[in-house]
Structure 1
Amino acid sequence: IKKTSHEPLCPPGIKCGGVLSAPSGNFSSPNFPRPYPYETECTWLIVVAEGSSVLLSFSHFELEYHAACAYDYLQVYNGAARDQGNLLGTFCGRSAPPPFSSAWHVMAVVFRSDRHVAKRGFTAAYRKDACGGQLTGLSGEIASPRYPESYPSDAECRWSIGGGSGPLTLVFTDFQMEGGQGCIFDYVALFDGPTAAAPHLGRFCGSARPPRTTSSSPHLLVLFKSDFNIGGRGFKAHFYSAGECQEVFTTIKGNFSSPRYPNSYPNNLKCQWSIQLPPGYRVKVFFLDMELEGRSSLTGGCDYDHLAAFDGGSENGSLLGQWCGRESLLPVTSHTNQLLLVLHTDRNTARRGFSIAYVGVVPMNVSCTRTDFHIHIPVQSLAQLERSKVYLGTPSCAAQVVGGNFKIHTRFDTCGTESQKRNNTSVIVSTLYIDFSADDQEDVHQYEVQCEPRRKEASVNLIASPDPARLSQAENLVDAQQRDGAAMDPRETKSQDSSDIVFISICILAGLLMVIAVVGLVLL
């Protein structure tokens, strides 16, 4: 259970803050209309009936001015939690805040003064809006009047939602209304714009929850209407701006972040980023920065805000990981050419969020003998590239196109290969270049190709990709035996075996000559 404290911090004898639960009322800064006291913090928590919203307005406003409101200020929050995801605005100076309509049935107002310069302060009034209203912000919640009790007869409510930069998504979490063919009695209607003149997105009634609905613009109108008899529990729904958190990526590399990053993300979100690459590719995700709400103190799990990765294009795929809190995470690689990332946030406690970069891992089969490298890359994976853009060591060692594959078959003494000692083992190392550069934009991916000749074991590591400073951690992309790679051409296998036979024959011949030489010396 998450707890939120709203204890006012006031000098002794000063009336300041509190819980306001009446349908309407007024409040003001301490001592108004005289100057407010120094070093004071007041929090007013306005709570009206669930299903209603809070309408807040200011009739007088005069605080110490600062360009960033860093000295004396007033803040207005959607909901009870004082975190950046709920913040509607911070105000100071002589310009009064605009009227506010909360997205929930709770609103918090915070006033704070420092130790210098006091002004007259402010007065404010609030009232309960039975239903409907003008809702701004990237996320919020609406409900029918009196929810979860039965809604009243002959009601009509309109919620005009807008204020973000992208489309809005509306998700119903509960729905029970009078049914009927055509939904002509009680119903909820959705419009793709700020008024009922906008295109119609659907009309719903009965007990089946309406589908998730996304507008085509930053505005959405929700209309609730009931007739003179037969009611129901009503509905509850939440909305969020989808413009910053519903994206599909098809390029070989890219990066993205949570909404508002590096500032706090909004509350009550479900964001999806789908990465869809050509067949054969895998998706490797790098977590550059992550700070979400922490784990539950009761369960130890990521029960509140969390980020999850799924193998494939939907949440039905295998879960690759789920994270929360502030962690340094290792890269995650998909098993297919698609990966889905989903961010869930609840209705309070927001953090900085995350920044992510990804790169497509080119499908390839790398093997070696005691004398040669063999590299196969399906042409369809690099369909836009000429063979000269794929080379080992130097451009003169470019790939050949054979049977639907880019193929590089080269001896160890060519193409920039060199012998190294690693972990007391002799290995042959070279660099494979895949040049995706276009329109004067340099984009060269580099893979280190390595062979241990004695064991005939090969591996390949991504060592440089679109942003080497960020994607600095290499991954072994293919295991020594290339278990998940494409099958080798039998003719290639024969060529490897023949080279091994020649190597072994030379060793046997040298051994026989040595024996003959020793016997000759003994006879002499």
Structure 2
Amino acid sequence: MKLPYLLCIAYVYLFDYVVCQTVSIAKIGNLDNLCDNTIPDQNHLISPRYPDRYPKGVRCVYEIRSPVNTRLEFELNEFELEIEFNEKCHDHFVLQETFRATTYQTKVELQCGTLPSGRKILASTNFVRAEFETDTSVEATGYNITIRAIDITQPLSTPTDDWIANNRPLSTADLIRSLQRSPCVDQLISVPVGQLVTFSSPGYPGLYPEYAICNYHFDSPPGTHIEFNAVDFHLEAPSRTDGCKYDTLTFQETVDGKTIVLGGKKFCGLEGPKLLSSTSNSVRAVFQSDLSNRETGFSITAISRCGSTIALSPNTSMIFSSDTHTELFSESAGRCVYNFVAPVDYNIEFTTSKYSPSTASFDNHNAKFRLGETINGIEVPLGTINLDSYAPFSGPIEPTTLRSRTNRVRGIFSTEPAGAAAQFNISIKVVSRYLVSLATNATTTFTSPGYPQLYPRSTNRTYDISAPKGYVIELTAMHFEMEPGSDTQCPYDWLGFFERIQKRIVPLGPKYCGNKGPQSLVSQTNHLKAVFVSDFSSQFTGFNITAKAVRPSANFSQSTSASVLKSFATSTIFKSSSHYILILLYVMVAWVGFHRGHLC
């Protein structure tokens, strides 16, 4: 009976494990209540709400101790945090210890992202500080960590490669003082349009506390951005070699799901923000101080101004109206810049209608909304909406519709003189670039995938193009560059048009390839489909084609259909039967799409 017991003891000592050693985990500081249930026992640490996703904007700090002559080992049973961006962790779990009067912490690659199960991190001492902090964007599963005490069998010279030294040596007394953090309550600050709001460091104008982390959350009305200016700024001076690394102030916002640092840098020393602007109406400022060289801190003003980045969701619409932005357009500085962003493979459509409020008081004199987009690094005008034409007291006018070729549009609202008021309604719609709906007498464009960049290989895309009843569709290529074929054949990459006439799917024009695109090609119906096909080899810039809803001409007859069908047949009959089968298959695909779309 004694043999198994002796073998167990021998196993423990042979592998340097002291399984019965006591590990103490304590939550410290006046922190978020979400941290309360993160210590299931004295050998495990889990993230808040684990195994569900951890919350945003949480911070948990722990002191972890083991007996003298032991060191701590951390085994990651599961570890999944927001991935690092630009070598920075926005959500992080960091371990910190002091070894031979120098503070070490785990490397960035061990603080966030996804780490393999079973990964072990070995400390050099029996006292480690752990900190878990999240920002206000991405959430993930979190972590489940087992903590053990391991006997030190021989003296250590340096920590393992998992740790990196801070450049500022700290004594053990400094580290203990750092754990007794001065309280700093997160602040939510509302920034009204045109009104200055002031915020400052804790204790200002006195010295700010040591080792503080203070979060300031700023919100302004939709359609605005926030501008920051330092009135007084004095933090610890930057390092000569590493810049701002001691006491810092950082401004962040989330754009397209990513955390962006405003101005691309942290602020420290005597250099505070000047005319620092966000692109959205939500900003987070983070003030951090270390354990020495306290200064008077900062006093900074924030003001919201018209113009911002507006993220648009797929297949949705919104009303951009003076009704919802009354403060902006009645007290405008004369120029507001908006960036409208839709997902990839979507375009943005702007339609202006006559403004008809119950009480109208402005004539929109010299008010304009200029729209443009960037193509190949060049700002290309999309169009200008003269808002005075849509003012409450203007005469009858048809709605104006402008559609982008990309998923990003820059809009500039301006009035003359500056400060003049305007009232208007602009409907903004996010549509698939493969769905083209034409308004009466309206012209829009559709492009190949990725245009003006090279279109992808092995692609088959169908565009659905429709016009109002009583209209037909006129197609004209503004740019056309595809893999060339022969004079009569397009066997590789091609673009073809189809419509349904008398219950038959018929081609509209020949297949197009090379540098020959459609020119004033007119449909017989108000609904057609364009099929774009590329093979696995060469790539080109593709096409940019305008589609216009026009009234049918009087001499357009069914004979046109017959001649078009003959032309298409001539261009698609190949010597190879495989080519014929391939074309037949594409026509069948187009027919199925027509049938499902209930074409008339």
Structure 2 length as normaliser, TM-score?
0.32
- TM-score (normalised: structure 1): 0.36
